């Protein structure tokens, strides 16, 4: 289970009021239940020794326990980047953030992104998740925080 402090650590660049709004939301952020129990065989970070922690990071650089219970996956690009892009539309006056390579429950990702960005998200004709506005840093930070 990812605590709220860790989940929002990558979003330090946001204004303090935005972080306060995200942290004080009535829902649990990122769809993690408050009464969620850890999986069998998974140790908490406090219980791990320094050697185990270093081995954990070396074996899989992008692994987190949340990925196993996450209803969607976002595959990285061939150059090992997270596929989040910003394009301009409407005579170059409107920014649109596009998330590609989404597999699994796409509606779950849509709800998470809408909660994170505070705007409506939709799937375009090409099947990519589109959010109006430049939310690239927030979305990439969220995907990194859950292990993608």
Query: pLDDT tens digits, residue range 25-43?
Result: 544 445 455 555 555 555 5
Burial class of 4 by CB neighbour count within 10 A (0 to 12, 13 to 18, 19+)? middle
Full-model pTM: 0.55
Token pair in block for residue 57: 């990071």
Arithmetic mean of pLDDT, 56-67: 50
69/39 Cα distance (integer angstroms)? 10
CATH 3.30.780.10 fits 1-148, yes or no: yes
pLDDT of residue 38: 52
Q: Please give the structure tokens belonging to residue 103.
A: 């597999």
Distances (CA, A) of 92 to 35, 88, 117, 122: 46, 5, 21, 20
């Amino acid at each position: 289970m990812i605590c709220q402090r860790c989940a929002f650590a990558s979003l330090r660049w946001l204004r303090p009021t935005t972080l306060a709004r995200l942290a004080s939301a009535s829902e649990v952020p990122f769809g993690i239940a408050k009464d969620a129990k850890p999986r069998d065989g998974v140790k908490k970070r406090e219980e791990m020794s320094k050697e185990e922690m270093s081995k954990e990071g070396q074996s899989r650089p992008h692994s987190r326990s949340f990925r196993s219970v996450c209803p969607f996956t976002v595959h990285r690009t061939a150059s090992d980047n997270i596929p989040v892009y910003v394009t301009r539309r409407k005579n170059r006056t409107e920014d649109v953030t596009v998330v590609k390579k989404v597999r699994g429950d796409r509606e779950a990702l849509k709800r998470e992104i809408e909660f994170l960005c505070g705007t409506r998200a939709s799937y375009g004709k090409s099947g990519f998740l589109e959010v109006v506005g430049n939310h690239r840093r927030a979305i990439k930070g969220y995907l990194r925080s859950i292990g993608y």
